[in-house]
Amino acid sequence: MKKVLFINGPNLNLLGTREPEIYGNRTLADIDKALVEQGNALGLEVETYQSNHEGAIVDKIQVAARGCHGLVINPAAYTHTSIAIRDALLVLDIPVIEVHLSNIHKREPFRHQSMLSDVVTGKIIGLGPYGYTLALAAVDHLISEP
């Protein structure tokens, strides 16, 4: 079974209570559960991971290089600052989709820049939790192509 890893960055563990007017009312556990179910329906193993720590995220990306067929990442605030996460992604030879719940281009100017956009396969922004659903479908498509 092909494996897809979902990595979520800082403060996403607070989904459902953190700024619901921006991020909605669904918790990360709700999103993770739906992704595992969607993965099962597609014949994919889905692993989810969240950390508030940049180094832990880098470590998890490095693990993805050994055994994952696709990666979906919402680096949250690290999107705009982390060269370390960017460099870790450069090692991967698998499809990588960057996801953001909110439309980062409609927010504060410092959120408009992504350190990752030029090294990921694709990017989905502003569609709330549905963005994760689309990202898993995209990874499935990309890893199923001959």
Match 């408009």 to its residue by tokens.
112
Domain residue extents for the chain: 2-144
Residues acting as catalytic residues: 23, 100
Cα separation, 61 vs 68, in Å, equals 10
Residue type, 41: A
What does each C-alpha distance from 117 to 22, 23, 59, 86 come to in angstroms? Answer: 22, 21, 20, 9
Q: Are 75 and 100 in contact (CB under 8 A)?
A: no
Q: Which CATH number fits domain 2-144: 3.40.50.9100, 1.10.10.10, 2.120.10.80, 3.40.1280.10?
A: 3.40.50.9100
Cα separation, 71 vs 35, in Å, equals 13
Cα separation, 134 vs 141, in Å, equals 10
pTM of the model: 0.92
At 55-87, the pLDDT tens digits run 999 999 999 989 999 999 999 999 999 999 999
At 13-48, the pLDDT tens digits run 998 887 777 777 889 999 999 999 999 999 999 999
Cβ burial, residue 67 (10 Å; 0-12/13-18/19+)? exposed
